[in-house]
Amino acid sequence: MTYLFWAFAVVWLGVFVYLYGLMRRIRALGRQVTELVDHARYAAGSGSSPAAGAPGASPTARAHTAPSVRTPGAGG
């Protein structure tokens, strides 16, 4: 019975660890998307975007002094 328990436990543990890994990758992509959006807003000269170096600005937005992300409506 011990072996039976461990076999099923290992299978479900494996599946949940994999799902956790997928969720971590999704969160990392979400952060990248947020940074790109900040970056694009800054490039478009929107007043609502966080200023580079200001509190709340993403690390990417602070790092790029001359961002060049192309966004729809940003003039190509």
Partner 1 sequence: MRRSLDGPLTWSLFAVMLFALYAAFLYAPTEQVMGDIQRIFYVHLPLAWVGFVAFGHACWGGVRYLGTGRREWDVASASAAEIGVLFATLVIVTGSLWARPVWGAWWTWDPQLVTYLILWFIYVGYLILRAAAGDDARQARFAAVFAIVGFVDVPLVWLSARHLRALSPVIFTTHSIGLAPSMAWALLAGLVAWSLMYAVLVRARIRLGLLAAQIQDLVEGSA
Residues making contact with partner 1 (CB under 8 A): 1, 3-4, 6-8, 10-11, 14-15, 18-19, 22, 25-26, 29, 32-33, 36, 39-40, 64, 67-70
Q: Shortest gap between Cβ of 3 and partner 1 (angstroms)? A: 5
Q: Shortest gap between Cβ of 47 and partner 1 (angstroms)? A: 20
Q: Tokens 């990758």 label which residue?
A: 25
Using the minimum distance from each CB to partner 1, give the nearer residue, 10 or 54.
10
Question: Is the CA virtual torsion 27, 30, 36, 41 positive or negative?
Answer: negative
Residue 40 neighbours by CB distance under 10 Å: 19
